[in-house]
């Protein structure tokens, strides 16, 4: 009687050094194990393993993500730049992820110029930068109060069609406030209004700091209260909302634009949210006198995430608005 034939066993192919390296590196990335990844890289170098851009991107990703850990920062920085130089030396072209990772390494050591230079050099590789590509240089300059360099990054972003979002606008607003550039502060307030109705509590704190400081009252676009008092110049709290005056080109009080900042507690109390119908480009105030209509029926339940609503509107007001201190609603 013939014996039944069993299912033939699959014969495992012997993995090449490149395949083994790839598999092990993937595990290191999964577990965010930088020391193991560096040891693996050194071993692969000694065995003349062929590298590809994916290998380098994984290694650089691990390095750039490890700079926030003080115990790994030096290790990540030294090896990250060495790996990037190795990548270029063997003719592997970087992509956007590569440049972004190295820019983060540069920014972590305070070298915003190098980070920005990397982004500006992406053109020679036919790479289009993303917002995240600019962030390391922009935030580095802002943290070091190098406002003019930060504005240069913003200008370059505009040239390639990359738009600012809330974190970038707030960083620029903050450095402008710190360096006393009131015109820039108001420009970024307009841009902040246009990117969305909800902003974080930290964003509101930065706006608060500007209007609570004496520098805000020295800017002509913010009307000083009568009597020579140059204290906090935000005006009139209505139902817990702050209304911050921003003049248009005519500087006429009835046409003044007001930045309305509403706390979540206020939204909860009234059960409504404001709808921002404003539209402006490049920080220029629109001529539409109905920038804001009254509350919509959108429920507050969808906005329980400690956000604050920022809208812009025109309001008929007396020529001399009253002064109040800014405080949470």
Cα–Cα distances (Å) from 53 to 11, 20, 90, 261, in that order, read 30, 16, 11, 47
Helix (H) or strand (E) holding 18: helix 17-30
Q: Are 234 and 243 in contact (CB under 8 A)?
A: yes
When pLDDT is cut at 50, 70 and 90, the band that residue 208 belongs to is: confident
Q: Dihedral, CA atoms, 180, 184, 185, 187, nearest 10 degrees? A: 170
Residues 169-179 have pLDDT tens digits of 999 999 999 99
pTM over 0.85: no
Encoded tokens for 275: 């709808």
Assess contact for 137 and 108: CB atoms under 8 A.
no
| Angstrom distance (rounded) from CA 245 to CA 211 | 10
Which residue bears the tokens 């590509």? Answer: 133
Long-range Cβ contact pairs of 21-25 (< 8 A, separation 24 or more): 21/49, 21/55, 22/54, 22/55, 25/55, 25/58, 25/59
Alpha-carbon distance of 305 to 280, in angstroms, equals 27
Element (H, E) at 187: helix 182-195
Instruction: Using CA atoms of 103, 105, 110, 115 in order, give the dihedral in degrees to the nearest 10.
Output: -10
Interval 212-268: pLDDT, tens: 766 655 554 444 344 444 334 444 444 444 555 554 444 454 444 455 555 444 444
Q: How far apart are CA 173 and CA 169, in angstroms?
A: 6
d(CA 98, CA 101): 5
**pLDDT bucket at 119, cuts 50 / 70 / 90:** very high
Tell me: the pLDDT tens digits for 291-300? 333 333 333 3
Mean pLDDT of all residues in the chain?
A: 74
Q: How confident is the model at residue 95 (pLDDT cuts 50, 70, 90)?
A: very high
Q: Which of 116, 120, 104, 59 lies closest to 86, judged by CA?
A: 59
The CA angle 270-243-210, to the nearest 5 degrees, is 125
């Amino acid at each position: 009687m013939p014996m039944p034939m069993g299912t033939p066993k699959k014969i495992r192919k012997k993995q090449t050094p490149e395949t083994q390296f790839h598999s092990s590196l993937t595990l290191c990335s999964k577990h965010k194990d930088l020391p193991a990844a560096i040891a693996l890289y050194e071993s692969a170098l000694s065995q003349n393993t062929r590298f590809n851009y994916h290998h380098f991107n994984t290694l650089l990703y691990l390095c750039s993500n490890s700079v926030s850990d003080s115990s790994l920062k030096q290790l990540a920085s030294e090896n990250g730049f060495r790996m990037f130089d190795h990548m270029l030396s063997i003719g592997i072209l970087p992509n956007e992820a590569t440049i972004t990772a190295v820019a983060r390494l540069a920014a972590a050591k305070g070298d915003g110029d190098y980070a920005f230079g990397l982004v500006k050099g992406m053109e020679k590789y036919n790479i289009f930068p993303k917002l995240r590509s600019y962030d390391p240089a922009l935030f580095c300059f802002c943290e070091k109060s190098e406002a003019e360099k930060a504005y240069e990054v913003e200008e370059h972003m505009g040239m390639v069609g990359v738009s600012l979002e809330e974190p970038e606008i707030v960083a620029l607003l903050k450095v402008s406030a710190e360096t006393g550039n009131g015109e820039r502060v108001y420009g970024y307030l307009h841009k902040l209004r246009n990117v969305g109705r909800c902003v974080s509590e930290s964003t509101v704190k930065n706006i608060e700091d500007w209007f609570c400081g004496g520098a805000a009252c020295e800017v002509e676009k913010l009307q000083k209260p009568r009597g020579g008092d140059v204290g906090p110049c935000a005006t009139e709290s209505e139902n817990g909302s702050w209304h911050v005056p921003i003049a248009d080109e005519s500087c006429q009080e009835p046409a003044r634009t007001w930045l309305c900042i509403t706390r979540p507690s206020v939204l909860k109390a009234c059960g409504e949210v404001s709808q921002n119908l404003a539209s402006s480009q490049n920080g220029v105030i629109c001529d539409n006198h109905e920038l804001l209509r009254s509350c919509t029926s959108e429920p507050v339940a969808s906005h329980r995430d400690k956000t604050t609503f920022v809208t812009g509107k025109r309001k008929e007001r007396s020529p001399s608005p009253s002064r109040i201190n800014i405080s949470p609603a």
